[in-house]
């Protein structure tokens, strides 16, 4: 549904911090599904951990946040020009859980659902899966603001 070029028209993030490769499903005001291919070539693996590469939990949460930002922007029916003037600030991350490690070669699938939306404030349920198994989840609260 959206490739990385289209994603970059909405999110300000760029390499090495753009953490979503493709969006496969968007249901405005409801749900987004997308993924990131985790590869050994990522800078984070130089130090986390040498000889035992594990994708950091904080990066999984950031990927959820980026996917949530796309869902919010698309649900607010912003043009590319309007989205370019906005940014998503995360206000809280609650109930974060990490259930199993993510390693190079994994496809990290993000499923983001809207719990609540009031104006510029979004409360989202984020889940991350590898091969259909839940590896992480969190509740994210964010606000869309002017740059």
**Catalytic site residues?**
48
Contact (CB, 8 A) for 20 and 12: no
What Å distances lie between residue 43 and 7, 28, 60, 62, CA to CA? 21, 33, 15, 16
Q: How far apart are the first and last CA of the chain?
A: 27
d(CA 137, CA 34): 15
Strands (E) located in 10-106: 22-27, 31-37, 86-98
């Amino acid at each position: 549904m959206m490739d990385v070029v289209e994603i970059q028209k909405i999110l300000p993030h760029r390499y090495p911090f753009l953490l979503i490769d493709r969006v496969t499903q968007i249901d405005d005001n409801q749900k987004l599904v997308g993924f990131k291919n985790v590869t050994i070539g990522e800078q984070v693996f130089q130090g986390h951990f040498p000889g035992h590469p594990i994708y950091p939990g904080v990066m999984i949460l950031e990927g959820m946040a980026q996917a949530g930002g796309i869902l919010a922007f698309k649900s607010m029916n912003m043009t590319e020009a309007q989205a370019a003037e906005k940014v998503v600030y995360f206000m809280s991350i609650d109930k974060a859980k990490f259930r199993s490690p993510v390693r190079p070669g994994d496809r990290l699938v993000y499923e983001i659902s809207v719990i609540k939306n009031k104006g510029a404030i979004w409360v989202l349920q984020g889940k991350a899966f590898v091969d259909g198994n839940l590896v992480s989840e969190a509740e994210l609260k964010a606000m869309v603001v002017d740059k």
